[in-house]
């Protein structure tokens, strides 16, 4: 026996080491997150914590040094064309001021329409700017490491974006750094909407690092060039942020009734330097500044239809400041509802809910009167991406409006930006309801 | 004398040693560069693997070779989003094979270094994929063109890198 162990010492040692590693691997795969022995509170392996923590200061020094020299050179180079650039920027400012007037009118209209819907939305209230300090270094995993961690308020599953579009979500958080899973990793996924056709799907990464939507039926028509935005249904990414552009749409022969829709990401995922982590999303109940006081449909019905029970004055107050009736009447066909707010009951709560689906946790205000009476945030932005898409989701026939960018309340310089602060980074949310198609006709996810 | 030894010169069967700073610093530097440099080249070049192969064939002892591979691979795993152990197991096997091979054939000339690295890159990738698909439930894709390109690039890099790392060998 002793001879056996001596003779096969090396293979036995190999098998022992492999056995230990396989068992350790199996433990990680089988055990649910957060219940791992030797793991931190967030469910991260200690070896991962140690390695990343040990490397992070060195990475930061290298990144900072390199950036110092690069920026020094760029500053010098930029001065050379400053005068010409200044003139161009002044022209641009003048043009944007005119554009702003038009957008303000659109935003006011959107707010009025949202008030009619008691539309609740989520918008970005805090972001943390972070620098990318490391990459996974392998094609099998698309992961980046940023220089902000739990000390800066980063938590797992927070959305990470750039001014161009979404980047990914926070996966593991350490004290001084965090790891971000990019959207083109094959373990990633995000709820999206095709902007023109309003088709909903889930965009996933492939092993080759491409973005694909695989859950749209092949009888739908998807054209290359169509813009893809987040739907908000995944409760990670805010609604209306740019994801990418369709570059190809072909039938999936292996998965027959579906299409393979390839997406080119807007954010350059191979050259990320700075990103924004969305650390806080705030609820916002829109109210029109100059619009009419909203009137509940039940109240209108109670005035016009004798069969509708009288309003109970002790009932909880509803958003319009009018007590809710004891019974909720549902308008039937032929109910003489004319215009304006009277159209509201014609839209079922399901419809209203589906329109609010993309607002990340938006709740039906009809079911939560206390929330609906919450005062709106002070200094809220003129229009957020969610509001932009929310504006598109109006019950009446929406006018086809030209594609336009709306400035969201995001600043890469601010770690605690409040709504209304001047944004310096502008993700690309757009408000583009399909021409001749009501934007609220979003199709259900498949 | 062993027949395998008789086919090699004394230089070829010599077990090389390295100082502690080199044994620790070079692998750490390789991992650091791998995750720090976001160049397209780093997508196909696997510096930690090259360092694993170099130390394994230079030491010519299977147990230290595979332990070196296990440690380097496990540290490299920490930077990926995958369960820790995928690179660890793959590099353990490469370390073992490299050190076993170093005893039997001449691994100090550039030609054999290129071929050896070329083969080890494919083996490493194969083992990684097998574990990922069978044990972890991953969805890896084996693309021959990409794998051959990666093996070629790593093979060429090994010739240059190993020549540089030879200078750190301690000679009696």
Q: Which residues of B touch A140 (CB under 8 A)?
A: 80, 82, 86, 128, 132, 140
Contact A14 B141 (CB under 8 A): no
Contact B35 A45 (CB under 8 A): no
Note whether A302 and A77 are within 8 A (CB): no
Instruction: Give the pLDDT of residue A78.
Output: 78
Structure tokens at A151: 């000390």
Confidence check: pLDDT of B116 > 60: yes
Question: Cα separation of B150 and B77, whole Å?
Answer: 19
Instruction: Give the pLDDT of residue A63.
Output: 82
Contact A21 B89 (CB under 8 A): yes
Structure tokens at A442: 């979003």
Q: What distances in angstroms separate CA B134 from CA A235, A279, B125, B137, B138, one per listed residue?
A: 32, 37, 14, 6, 8
Instruction: Give the pLDDT of residue A117.
Output: 64
Q: Where are the domains of chain A?
A: 41-331+344-446
Structure tokens at A143: 């992961």
Instruction: Give the pLDDT of residue B136.
Output: 79
Pairing of strands A178-182, A227-230: unpaired
Low-confidence ranges of chain A (pLDDT < 70): 1-2, 29-46, 115-124, 282-446
CA-CA-CA-CA torsion for A286, A287, A290, A291, nearest 10 degrees?
100
* A103 Ramachandran zone, left/alpha/beta (phi>0; psi -120 to 50): alpha
Question: Cα separation of A383 and A281, whole Å?
Answer: 15
Q: What is the pLDDT of residues B82-115, one digit of tens each?
A: 888 899 999 999 999 999 887 777 778 889 999 9
pTM: 0.60
The percentage of chain A sitting over the pLDDT mark of 90, rounded to a whole number, equals 11
Sign of the torsion formed by the C-alpha atoms of A52, A58, A61 and A65: negative
Q: What distances in angstroms separate CA A374 from CA A73, A122, A355, A364, A421, one per listed residue?
A: 51, 14, 20, 14, 21
CA atoms within 13 A on the CB side of B32: 17
- Tally of CB atoms within 10 A around B39: 9
Contact B81 A142 (CB under 8 A): yes
Instruction: Give the pLDDT of residue B73.
Output: 93
Question: Cα separation of A11 and A306, whole Å?
Answer: 90
CA atoms within 13 A on the CB side of A415: 7
Size of interface A-B (CB pairs under 8 A): 132
Question: Cα separation of B143 and B44, whole Å?
Answer: 12
- Higher pLDDT: B142 or B129? It is B129
- Considering CB atoms only, which of A29, A136, A186 is closest to B136? A29
Instruction: Give the pLDDT of residue B72.
Output: 94
Contact B35 A55 (CB under 8 A): yes
Contact A52 B83 (CB under 8 A): no
Q: How confident is the model at residue B16 (pLDDT cuts 50, 70, 90)?
A: confident
A171 and B CB contact within 8 Å: yes
- CA-nearest of A182, A181, A175, A185 to A52 is A175
Least reliable range by pLDDT among A6-20, A277-291, B135-149, B151-165: A277-291
Question: Cα separation of A300 and B53, whole Å?
Answer: 80
Query: Is B3-168 CATH 1.10.238?
Result: no
A137 and B CB contact within 8 Å: yes
Nearest chain B alpha carbon to A145: B79
């Amino acid at each position: 026996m002793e001879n056996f162990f001596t003779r096969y010492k090396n293979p036995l040692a190999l098998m022992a080491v492999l056995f230990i590693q396989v068992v350790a691997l199996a433990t990680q795969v089988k055990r649910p997150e957060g219940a791992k022995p030797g793991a931190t509170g967030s469910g991260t392996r200690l070896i991962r914590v140690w390695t990343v923590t040990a490397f992070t200061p060195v990475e930061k020094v290298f990144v900072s040094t390199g950036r110092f020299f690069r920026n020094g050179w760029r500053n010098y180079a930029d001065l050379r064309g400053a005068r010409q650039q200044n003139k161009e920027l002044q022209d641009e400012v003048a043009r944007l001021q005119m554009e702003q007037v038009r957008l303000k009118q659109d935003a006011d209209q959107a707010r009025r329409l949202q008030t009619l819907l008691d539309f609740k939305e989520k918008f970005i209230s805090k972001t943390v700017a972070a620098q990318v300090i490391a990459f996974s270094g392998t094609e099998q995993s698309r992961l980046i490491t940023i220089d902000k961690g739990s000390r800066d308020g980063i938590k797992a599953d927070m959305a990470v974006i750039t001014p161009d579009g979404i980047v990914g979500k926070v996966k593991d958080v350490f004290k001084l750094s965090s790891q971000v899973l990019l959207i083109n990793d094959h373990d990633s996924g995000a709820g999206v909407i095709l902007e023109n056709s309003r088709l909903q799907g889930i965009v996933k990464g492939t092993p080759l690092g491409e973005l694909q939507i695989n859950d749209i039926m092949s009888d739908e028509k998807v054209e290359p060039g169509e813009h893809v935005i987040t739907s908000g249904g995944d409760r990670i990414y805010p609604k209306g942020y740019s994801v990418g552009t369709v570059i190809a749409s072909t039938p999936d022969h292996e998965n027959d009734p579906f299409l393979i829709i390839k997406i080119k990401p807007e954010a350059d995922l191979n050259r990320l330097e700075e990103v924004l982590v969305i650390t806080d999303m705030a609820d916002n109940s829109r109210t029109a500044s100059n619009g009419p006081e909203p009137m509940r449909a039940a109240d209108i019905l109670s005035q016009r239809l004798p069969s509708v029970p009288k309003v109970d004055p002790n009932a909880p107050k509803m958003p319009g400041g009018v007590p809710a009736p004891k019974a909720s009447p549902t308008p039937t066909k032929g109910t003489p509802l004319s215009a304006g707010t009277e159209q509201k009951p014609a839209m079922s709560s399901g419809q209203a809910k589906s329109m609010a689906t993309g607002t990340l946790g938006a709740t039906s205000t009809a079911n939560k009167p206390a929330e609906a009476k919450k005062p709106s945030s002070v200094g809220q932005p003129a229009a957020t991406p969610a509001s932009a898409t929310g504006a598109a989701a109006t019950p009446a026939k929406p006018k086809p409006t030209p594609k336009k960018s709306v400035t969201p309340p995001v600043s890469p310089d601010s770690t605690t930006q409040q709504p209304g602060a001047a944004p310096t980074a502008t993700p690309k949310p757009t408000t583009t309801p399909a021409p001749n198609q009501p934007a609220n006709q979003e199709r259900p996810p498949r | 004398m062993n027949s395998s030894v008789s086919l090699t010169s004394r230089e070829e069967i010599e077990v090389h040693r390295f100082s502690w700073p080199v044994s620790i610093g070079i692998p750490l530097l390789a991992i650091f560069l791998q995750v720090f440099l976001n160049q397209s080249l780093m997508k196909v070049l696997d510096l930690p693997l090259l360092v694993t192969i170099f130390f394994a064939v230079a030491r010519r002892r299977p147990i230290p070779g595979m332990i070196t591979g296990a440690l380097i691979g496990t540290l490299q795993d920490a930077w990926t989003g995958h369960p820790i152990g995928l690179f660890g197991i793959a590099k353990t096997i490469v370390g073992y094979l490299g050190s076993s091979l170093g005893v039997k054939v001449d691994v100090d000339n550039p030609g054999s270094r290129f071929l050896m690295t070329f083969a080890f890159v494919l083996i490493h990738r194969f083992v990684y994929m097998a574990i990922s698909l069978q044990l972890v439930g991953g969805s890896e894709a084996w693309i021959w063109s990409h794998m051959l390109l990666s093996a070629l690039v790593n093979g060429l890099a090994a010739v240059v890198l190993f020549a540089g790392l030879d200078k750190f060998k301690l000679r009696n």
